């Protein structure tokens, strides 16, 4: 009888220990599998975001890649289904002519920023195509090049677009984020330059009787089709980050020590596109000027296109967008004063043509996926 007691107690102890051992084994199993799962997660994440690597590389050293003819250099093109598409090969939905919205990304970005993201936030391109019945085109370009070089090429590409698809592209709306807005403004400058009307895109017929040839005083044909321009988080008066980088390199060189010169040389390796952001240089003459590296370099004014409605949309990390901090830091990457300041000169000069809206508690990235920003776009197309 007494022998049965230890057996019963031992059996109960074994039962109580069983869940403990199961927990230990479960922990050991998870410990073994976590590295493999982590590697798998990193692999899947890398596959999902691998398209960001090439734009980031071009944004950092794209000018050097282009100069060397590197195969990783991004060529300006419209993008459809994840690939470059020549203008004659673009696919437009059936149903006749519609307003065409062209989206232009910012520094180190690509066309995916307008199309993909979490399901609970709006993506302006696809949503506008569904709800506003518009054609959406997405530009991809090398953001490491000078802004003026991209602006001139964009003007030529838009000229080719309206000549190739005159019945499809009747009205144009241009939407630019960050540097993309500066490229749009630069394109407007070159589209209305004295010889803009006679500019011919590569691959177009250059015979004298071709309709693309116009009087030198006339604007490029795409200019007259633009109805609205939306500038989202655009450093119209320059980027405080690039201004600080310039000053840092300048001070380090003034110290004239080997370590400080070394660091200054590293800073100065940034691309031409990034350098242009210091004072939003939109014209060749501004970066070609012998005074381009002065503290207050000359800057060519670029007014809005005649008859076009401009919508300057800015973000502010703070609720009070008029505070000193908000005016300087803005959305975290673009200062509030730069985004909404004297963009085209005194506001009274273009009253009724330039509209400014600040979205509180928004950073630079959320301007691309915000319901209020989308509603504004939808309403003012």
End position of a domain, from candidates 73, 96, 122: 73
CA distance 247 to 259: 17
Q: How far apart are the first and last CA of the chain?
A: 92
In the block, tokens 């004239």 appear at 256
The pLDDT value recorded for residue 357 is 94
**324-338 per-residue burial string, b: 16 or more CB within 10 A, e: under 16:** eebbebbbbbbbbbb
- Is residue 267 in a domain? no
63 shares its domain with 114: no
pLDDT confidence of residue 207: 40
Q: Which long-range contacts (CB under 8 A, 24 or more apart) does 367-371 make?
A: 367/177, 367/232, 367/233, 367/313, 367/315, 367/331, 368/113, 368/114, 368/124, 368/177, 368/232, 369/117, 369/118, 369/121, 369/122, 369/123, 370/121, 370/122, 371/121, 371/122
In a domain, 41, yes or no: yes
Q: What's the pLDDT at 39?
A: 43
The CATH number of residue 89's host domain is: 3.40.50.1820
Q: In degrees, to the nearest 5, what angle opens at C-alpha 29 toward C-alphas 25 and 30?
A: 120
135: helix, strand or coil: strand
Q: Low-confidence residues of the chain, pLDDT below 50?
A: 1-6, 8-16, 31-32, 34-48, 197-215
Count of structural domains, the chain: 2
Q: Cβ(52)–Cβ(59) under 8 Å?
A: no
Residue 259 in any domain: the answer is: no
For residues 356 and 337, state if they share a domain: yes
pLDDT in tens, 44-69: 434 445 578 899 999 999 999 999 99
Single residue among 73, 91, 112 that ends a domain in this structure: 73
Domain assignment of residue 176, yes or no: yes
Structural domain boundaries enclosing 32: 1-73
- 63 and 111 in a single domain? The answer is no
169: Cβ contacts below 8 Å, ≥ 6 apart: 97, 100, 135, 161, 162, 225
Q: What is the pLDDT of residue 22?
A: 63
Which of 43, 73, 103 corresponds to the end of one domain? 73
């Amino acid at each position: 009888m007494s022998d049965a007691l230890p057996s019963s107690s031992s059996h109960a102890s074994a039962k109580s220990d069983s869940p403990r051992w199961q927990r230990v084994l479960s922990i050991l199993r998870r410990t073994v599998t976590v590295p493999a799962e982590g590697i798998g997660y990193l692999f899947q994440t890398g596959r999902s975001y691998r398209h960001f690597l090439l734009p980031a590389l071009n944004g950092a050293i794209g000018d050097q890649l282009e100069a060397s003819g590197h195969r990783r250099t991004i060529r300006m093109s419209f993008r459809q289904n994840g690939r470059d598409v020549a203008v004659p090969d673009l696919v437009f939905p059936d149903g006749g002519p519609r307003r065409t919205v062209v989206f232009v990304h910012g520094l180190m970005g690509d066309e995916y920023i307008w199309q993909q993201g979490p399901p609970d936030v709006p993506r302006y391109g696809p949503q506008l195509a569904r709800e506003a019945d518009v054609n959406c085109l997405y530009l991809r370009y090398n953001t490491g090049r000078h802004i003026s070089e991209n602006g001139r090429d964009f003007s030529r590409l838009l000229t080719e677009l309206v000549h190739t698809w005159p019945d499809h592209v009747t009205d144009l709306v241009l939407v630019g984020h960050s540097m993309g807005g500066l490229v749009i403004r630069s394109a407007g400058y070159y589209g209305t330059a004295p010889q803009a009307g006679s500019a011919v895109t590569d691959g177009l017929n250059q015979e004298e009787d071709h309709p693309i040839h116009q009087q030198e005083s006339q604007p490029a044909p795409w200019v007259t089709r633009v109805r609205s321009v939306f500038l989202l988080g655009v450093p119209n008066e320059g980027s405080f980050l690039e201004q600080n980088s310039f000053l840092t390199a300048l001070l380090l060189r003034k110290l004239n020590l080997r370590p400080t010169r070394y660091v200054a040389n590293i800073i100065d390796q940034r691309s031409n596109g990034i350098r242009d952001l210091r004072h939003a240089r939109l014209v060749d003459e501004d970066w070609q000027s012998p005074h381009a590296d002065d503290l207050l370099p000359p800057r060519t004014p670029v007014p809005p296109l005649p008859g076009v409605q401009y919508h300057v949309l800015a973000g502010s990390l703070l609720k009070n967008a008029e505070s000193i901090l908000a005016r300087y830091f803005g959305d975290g990457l673009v200062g509030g004063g730069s985004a909404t300041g004297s963009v085209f000169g005194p506001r009274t000069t273009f009253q009724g043509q330039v509209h400014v809206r600040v979205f509180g508690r928004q950073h630079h990235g959320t301007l691309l996926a915000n319901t209020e920003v989308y509603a504004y776009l939808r309403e003012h197309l």
